[in-house]
Structure 1
Amino acid sequence: MTEWTILGAGALGCVMAGLLRQRGERVGFMLSARHRGHFHPSLDLITLGGRHELIQSRPRFPEQARQVECLLVFTKAYQVVDALKGLQELPTSTPIILFHNGLGVAEQVQELFPHNPLIAGVSSHGAMKEGDWLVRHTGKGDTWLGPMNQAANDWAHLVKPLAAALGHAEWRENIKLHQHRKLALNAVINPLTACHNIRNGQLLEPRFADVLEQLSEEVFQVMVNLGETESRDAFRRRLQQVIELTAVNYSSMHQDLAHGRSTENDYITGYILAHAGAQPVPVSSQLYREIKRRGG
């Protein structure tokens, strides 16, 4: 049985660890130097039903990289490359699965680890961090994996244990489609909620109707330019559904900006701007600049 090593003990990484452990899978957390010598506590997972469950996992440190059998990366997009640089002893046979928000990082990871199987992961599970080693699973979702290089094609079997733990996991050769669809949602919800300091559900208030429509149209058109075949109406329905399902949540960009942390602005809205071509994207541009101005 494979041990899943999780790099990035944020909300989603911790929830994934909890769900895997509940199915009897072996799980370890790759920890940074600041955790060395500290007591490694149990993870307190608040389930969808509101129960607290203590989840046991193994602490791992960079010098143990050779022992990593499968690496799931849940760090912020801007942290991925630096975090992986400390794992140069990772076996070339170890698959690396990237679950970060936004796009534009996989190419850099491929340069760092040219021989490792590189897999993209996309998940719509809801998760919220409520304290150190305390996370809440806020919603079930779909999970998709797909190859980013040739070596990854031998690892499609990983979806079977993931599906058992998460409720859904599928392998998709065209993983870029799922990446683009998740990015499109993030490019609407994240910057708007961050700039206006609101929960996701507040975007459906009448005062945001105009800007929500304009931004949605900008993002949709960029996605069409990138090969998206989803209709405008289908995208709008999907966006509304996600906003409603995550109504009480704060987006990750909102939380990063509110706590003075760097955001994934460059990998979400920045990706939209970089692929807009000649298409005008004034709302996206304004939101991008505003988040930069506030330190994100």
Structure 2
Amino acid sequence: MTEWTILGAGALGCVMAGLLRQRGERVSFMLSARHRGHFHPSLDLITLSGRHELIQSQPRFPEQARQVECLLVFTKAYQVLEALKGLQGLPTTTPIILFHNGLGVAEQVQELFPHNPLIAGVSSHGAMKEGDWLVRHTGKGETWLGPQNEAAKSWAHLVKPLAAALGHAEWSNDITLHQRRKLAINAVINPLTACNNIYNGQLLEPRYADVLEQLSEEVFQVMANLGDTEEQKDFRRRLQQVIELTATNYSSMHQDLIHGRKTENEYITGYILAHAGTQPVPVSSQLYQEIKRRGG
């Protein structure tokens, strides 16, 4: 049985760890030096039914990188490289699965670990951090894995234990499609909720109807120009569904901005701007600049 090592103990990383442990999988957390010498607490997972479950896991530290069998990276996009640089002892056979939001990081990770199987992960599970080592699973979703290099193509078997733990996990040889479709949703919801200081469901209020429509159109057109064949009505339906399913949630960008943390603006809205070409994207540009102005 593979041990799953979680790098990035945020909301989604902790929920994934909890779901894997519930299925009897071996799970560890790769911790930073500041946790050294501290008692490693149990993870308190609040399940979909509202029940509290204590989840036990093993602590790991960077000097134990050689023991890592499978690495799941749940850090913010801008933290990925720095977090991985401390794991230079990672065996070249260990798969690295990147679960961050946005796009543009995998290429840099490939340079850092040229021989490791590099896999992209996309998940729509809902997760909310309510305290230190206290997380709430707020919604079931789909999880997709796919290869980012040649070495990763022989690791499709990883989806079987993940599917058993998460309810759904599939392998896709065109993982970029799933990444872009998730990014498209994030590029609408995240900057709008962050700049307006609202939770996701408020985007459906009449006062946001015009800007929601304009931004959706911009993002859809950029993705269409990149080769996505999804029809506009299907994109709108998907966007509406995500807003409704996460209605009471605050987006990650909203939470980062409100708490004075760096956001993933560069990897989400920045990606839209970088790939807009000659297409005008005034709403995306305005939101991007506003988040930068506020320090995000």
TM-score (norm 2): 1.00
Aligned-partner Cα distance in 2 for 1:224–1:155: 30
Aligned-partner Cα distance in 1 for 2:125–2:90: 28
Correspondence for 1:201? 201
Shift of 1:133: 0.1
Aligned-partner Cα distance in 1 for 2:40–2:164: 27
Give secondary structure in 1 for the equivalent of 2:155: helix
Which whole-Å deviations, capped at 9, do the CAs of 1:41-61 have from their partners, x for residues lacking one?
Answer: 000000000000000000000
Which whole-Å deviations, capped at 9, do the CAs of 1:79-128 have from their partners, x for residues lacking one?
Answer: 00000000000000000000000000000000000000000000000000
Correspondence for 2:64? 64
Shift of 1:31: 0.3
| Matched ranges for 1:279-290 at <5 A | 279-290=279-290
Aligned-partner Cα distance in 2 for 1:233–1:240: 10
Aligned-partner Cα distance in 1 for 2:259–2:104: 24
Correspondence for 1:268? 268
Residue type at the aligned position of 1:187: A
Correspondence for 1:101? 101
Give secondary structure in 2 for the equivalent of 1:24: coil
Give secondary structure in 1 for the equivalent of 2:145: strand
1:224 corresponds to 2:250 = no
| Matched ranges for 1:72-221 at <5 A | 72-221=72-221
Aligned-partner Cα distance in 1 for 2:96–2:282: 36
Aligned-partner Cα distance in 1 for 2:277–2:88: 37
- Percent identity (aligned): 89
Aligned-partner Cα distance in 1 for 2:35–2:134: 16
Q: Which runs of 5+ in 1 are unaligned?
A: none
Residue type at the aligned position of 2:162: L
Aligned-partner Cα distance in 2 for 1:3–1:260: 35
Shift of 1:234: 0.2
Give secondary structure in 1 for the equivalent of 2:29: strand
Aligned-partner Cα distance in 2 for 1:183–1:226: 13
Aligned-partner Cα distance in 2 for 1:82–1:135: 25
Which whole-Å deviations, capped at 9, do the CAs of 1:25-48 have from their partners, x for residues lacking one?
Answer: 000000011101111100000000
Shift of 1:247: 0.1
Runs of 4+ in 1 over 6 A off after TM superposition: none
Shift of 1:2: 0.2
Shift of 1:286: 0.2
Residue type at the aligned position of 2:272: I
Residue type at the aligned position of 1:269: T
Give secondary structure in 1 for the equivalent of 2:151: helix
Residue type at the aligned position of 2:16: M
Q: How many residues align?
A: 296
Residue type at the aligned position of 2:211: V
Which whole-Å deviations, capped at 9, do the CAs of 1:51-73 have from their partners, x for residues lacking one?
Answer: 00000000000000000000000
Residue type at the aligned position of 2:289: R
Query: How big is the alpha-carbon RMSD for the aligned residues of Structure 1 and Structure 2?
Result: 0.2
Aligned-partner Cα distance in 1 for 2:37–2:270: 39
